[in-house]
Every structure is written in C-alpha cells, then in structure tokens.
Structure 1
C-alpha cells in the first residue's frame, strides 16, 4: 500500500529524522513511537501530504506521491486518505451529522454504492440520535468520536491517526483503538502516531522514529 524509502526531514541545519524506510501493507496497523519532538507528527503529515520530506520518496501503489501536484494531492486525500487529527478538524458551528456527511464520497453517492450511513457510524461510536447537535456543544472526547464516525463513513484505504487517544479516558480510548483495529481487519492500512503503550501493543508493527528502526509488536 505505502512504501517509505530513505525519507529525511530537516529544518535549516537541524535534521529531524533521516533515512527512514518502512512499508505499510493493506490490513496492517503500524505505530509511530518516540519521545516528544522526535517528529512523529511531522512524519505522519508527510504521509498525508500536509508536509513535504526533504529527501526520499513515499510510494502509493508504485507512484511517488511526494511529487504530486495540487490536483493529484486533492484526489489522493479524497479517494485514498482518511486522517484522524489531534485537534479533530471539525466544523464547530455545524451539526454532528453535517460533519460526518462531508466524508461521503461524491462518486459513491452518485453511483449508489452501499457504505455505512451517518446514523450507523454515529451509533457505532456511541453518538446515536445526536445528529442535530452542534459540535461546539460537545466535549473533546465526543468530538473525537465524531471524527471517528467520519472515518467509518469514508472507508479510506489509508488511515492516519495523530495521537488519537491522547485526550480520552480509558473507555473512549479503547473504543477508538477497537474501531481502528476493525478498519485494519477490513483491509485498510492504518498508521498511528502515539505515545500510548496500549495503542502500541495493539499494532502489528512499531516504528521508533528517533532510532529509525522497525520491530515487531509483541
């Protein structure tokens, strides 16, 4: 699905990480771990084409996506990528339903393809019946669950999650990891930047960003 080849990122004279290489296949969940400041989120942002590496390549199905132009980047984000942001990236003055509906792919809707409905996704994350509530009335944990419902509806091939359990209690954190695990079982490739040992231990593979090393998860 995604091949990272000799990736490096620097800011001026500071090298954040270098010669990073790993592969994430379909049906695999990989954890990016490392201390604060090691560049986990920056690496995740490079995979999501929100940032550019200084050197190296990121290949999706053989194509170097780091060379994509704006139109190709938009298509990649629309058709392939699902992102679970640390700050949720929701429209605060819109309703819960409207925030989830934006993930419905226009092509799928036009062709009548069957996927999880907004109501089904909200029910799965424990927010059934709350479609009409405004986002700014929800707690942080509830907003994270709305963002998760958006992923369920979109059904992306590649899921990127930035510290998805960082602000959640134990029950909500477990639900987030369970749903990401379900996406893996459905054949999605999932990459999670995390400092949470519980998340790391649920992943198939762990990449330690600081050491630039790849190990099997226990």
Structure 2
C-alpha cells in the first residue's frame, strides 16, 4: 500500500457518519496538527497512522469528545458535535459511540457477563430489541461459556475479546479504537480485525489508530496524521 500525497482528499461515502473539517489542535505554543479533514461513512473503516507523538490518540479523543479541538468542526450525521454541551455530549457517548482500547478498559473484579451488562445498560435496550445478546456475543468472539469468569483471571487476549463482545452488544454507530492490537499476538489480532470488519459490514463506521500494518491494510481508507502542521496523506484502498 502506497499512500497518495494530497491536500485533504478522501472518499465521500454515500452515508457520512463523521465529517472532520479543518480541525486544529494546539497546546500552548505548540501546534500538534492543523487543517485536518476527512469523512467516514457507514460501513467504512478508516485507519489513523503516523509516528508516536503525531497526535493520533488526541484526534480520536476529539472525535469522542474526550478532548476538544482548538478550531474546526466535527460533524456527526451532519451535526457539529464540538458545540455540544455536557448533556448532549453524555447522550452522544452513551447512544452512538463504542470504544476499543489497547488496555481493554474492563472492570477487573467483575465477571465477563457483568462487564457486558454494565456496557449495555445505559442504552436501555430491551432483551427482544433485535440486537445480539451477551451469550451470542461471547460465542462470536470465541468465549462461549466463559461469562461467569472474572476479568482478572483472563489473559490479555481474552480480555480484548471481552471488549469486542462489548461492542457487539452495544451495536454503536461509531467505533473509536486506539491501538486495539498493540499488546496482542497474531491470533488475537486476527480476531480484532475480523470483528471490526463484521461491525463495519453491519453499517458501523470505524476509526482506529494503529501502528500495525495488518490492521492498517484491513481498513478501507488510511489517513496519515500530519507529523508537521498542514501535511496530510490519504489513501483510498
């Protein structure tokens, strides 16, 4: 894969979920990046790539409203979420977002099932709502029958599978993943890629930060977060 050097050019999906326009982030006198722009549509996976310190995680945090850009717009289904107040931000995260982190973000002293119940409860989804249940989600990630085990008894790869099952039961419109395979072996990396592709195929938009070439090559679009202000690389694969 050879990215094509452009001035903020990416595909224009038919059903845009996230549109980033002229986004900039500065810390005191340091500009991390400026002029960032891309779109991600339903069923699309976009990889954020770049060297350590280029701001991939910060960009993801801005998309999830865990951080705020210095300037520019982030539109979710046409609405600029950078203007959201506290209540709107809370609802956006609860109803629309799913997260996948390198270090799993699970409740270690709780069971696998309890972790998934906690994740789905805020969305108030009824058992007959049509979405995958906990048992089905665990089966899909290769953890059938493991629901009663406590998280701290699981290996790192198994914990990331629980985090994937969490996404399956949440069924978010947008998944943000920060180095989701950074601590995994090849087998578990393959599971992560397969489940993210499955979620994407079901209509979810996925944005992930990665150094892993296997994960990058599984994505539809690659955005190179500029190491220097104003430089961009975008490749449609």
What range is the shorter-chain TM-score in?
over 0.9
Shift of 1:184: 0.9
2:207 to 191, 203, 207: 191
Instruction: For 2:129 and 2:136, locate their aligned partners in 1 and report how far apart those are by CA, in whole Å.
Output: 16
- Structure 1 residues 198-207 or 84-93, which shifts more? 84-93
Q: Which residue of 1 aligns with 2:125?
A: 108
Instruction: For 1:116 and 1:104, locate their aligned partners in 2 and report how far apart those are by CA, in whole Å.
Output: 11
Return 5+ residue gaps in structure 1 as ranges: none
Q: Which residue of 1 aligns with 2:232?
A: 212
Q: Which residue of 1 aligns with 2:164?
A: 148
Instruction: For 1:21 and 1:139, locate their aligned partners in 2 and report how far apart those are by CA, in whole Å.
Output: 38
Instruction: For 2:152 and 2:190, locate their aligned partners in 1 and report how far apart those are by CA, in whole Å.
Output: 24
Q: Which residue of 1 aligns with 2:47?
A: 31
1:50 to 66, 70, 75: 66
Matches within 5 A, 1:1-218: 1-105=17-121, 106-109=123-126, 112-210=128-226, 211-217=231-237
Shift of 1:214: 1.6
Shift of 1:108: 2.1
Return 5+ residue gaps in structure 2 as ranges: 1-16
Q: SS state of the match for residue 74, structure 1?
A: helix
TM-score (norm 1): 0.96
Over the aligned positions, Cα root-mean-square deviation in angstroms equals 1.2
Instruction: For 1:86 and 1:54, locate their aligned partners in 2 and report how far apart those are by CA, in whole Å.
Output: 26
Size of the alignment, in residue pairs?
216
Instruction: For 2:118 and 2:69, locate their aligned partners in 1 and report how far apart those are by CA, in whole Å.
Output: 29
Q: Runs ≥4 in structure 1, deviation > 4 angstroms?
A: none
Is the CA contact 1:17–1:212 (under 8 Å) kept in the aligned structure 2? no
TM-score (norm 2): 0.88
Q: SS state of the match for residue 89, structure 1?
A: coil
